[in-house]
């Protein structure tokens, strides 16, 4: 009943802070400890299992907006093109490899230096564990992040040469310009790029990978210097 490629898994609901919180919650595993992720008991049967998986996010935006601005002053001109997306979410799969020590053969994020511990209970990152008895690493809303953004997609600055210069060159127009693509992005998403679309893959199943951040290389910032010449 949800949009295609919606995210499905367990609802993460903070971090267990004490054994009493664990005892009063639905059973997750025999090894659940303070510092582990607490998952919601969707069907209220006091057991966290596959039946508690649910819709946890949507990669599709609620609103897309574009804005083009043109300015001219004497012989100078400036064009700005903004793109924006609001309400879209990303499933940050990079955290699967970088936030959990049971996947020990991958580089880890510096975030884990702030992982939960008895002296650091305000952390949103679960305790470090080599065997992960609570299965904190399972697909859940822990990975789902807001990816709304505003991107200055292009900026172009131009200068039209004065009439006396273009007449001497037997031209009707001579314009020098500098164009910059992918100037900056404003977003709360802490991954490399919030704009994760459908990734190129030959497998048909990957058509459901919209919004899944697998650490693909982000778009480059490019600079172009050019001339517009009219005879």
Six token digits for residue 73? 């002053």
- For residues 168 and 194, give the distance between their C-alpha atoms in angstroms, rounded to a whole number: 50
Whether the pLDDT of residue 92 is over 60: the answer is yes
Nearest to 25 by CA among 7, 1, 52, 2: 52
How confident is the model over 163-190, as a mean pLDDT?
90
Whether the pLDDT of residue 152 is over 90: the answer is yes
When pLDDT is cut at 50, 70 and 90, the band that residue 208 belongs to is: confident
Inter-residue contact 196 to 59 (CB < 8 Å): yes
Of residues 56 and 202, more confidently modeled: 56
How confident is the model over 102-112, as a mean pLDDT?
85
What is the predicted pLDDT for the residue at 96? 92
Q: List the single range of 114-118, 158-162, 197-201 with lowest mean pLDDT.
A: 197-201
When pLDDT is cut at 50, 70 and 90, the band that residue 43 belongs to is: very high
- The angle at the Cα of 151, spanning 150 to 155, to the nearest 5 degrees, equals 140
């Amino acid at each position: 009943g949800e949009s295609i490629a919606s995210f499905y898994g367990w609802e993460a609901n903070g971090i267990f802070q004490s054994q009493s919180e664990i005892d009063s919650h639905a059973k997750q595993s025999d090894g659940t400890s303070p510092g582990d992720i607490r998952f919601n008991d969707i069907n209220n049967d006091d057991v966290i299992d596959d039946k508690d998986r649910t819709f946890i996010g949507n990669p599709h935006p609620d609103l897309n907006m574009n804005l083009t601005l043109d300015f001219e002053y004497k012989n100078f001109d400036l064009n700005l093109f903004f793109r924006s997306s609001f309400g879209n979410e990303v499933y940050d799969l990079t955290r699967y490899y970088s936030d959990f020590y049971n996947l020990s053969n991958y580089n880890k994020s510096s975030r884990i230096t702030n992982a939960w511990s008895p002296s650091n209970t305000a952390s949103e990152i679960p305790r470090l564990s080599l065997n992960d008895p609570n299965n904190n690493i399972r697909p859940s809303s822990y990975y789902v992040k807001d990816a709304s953004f505003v991107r200055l997609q292009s900026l172009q600055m131009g200068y039209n040469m004065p009439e006396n210069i273009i007449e001497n060159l037997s031209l009707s127009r001579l314009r020098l310009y500098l164009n910059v693509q992918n100037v900056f992005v404003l977003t709360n998403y802490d991954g490399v790029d919030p704009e994760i679309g459908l990734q190129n893959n030959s497998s048909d199943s990957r058509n459901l990978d919209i919004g899944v951040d697998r650490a693909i290389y982000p778009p480059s910032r490019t600079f172009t210097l050019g001339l517009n010449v009219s005879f």
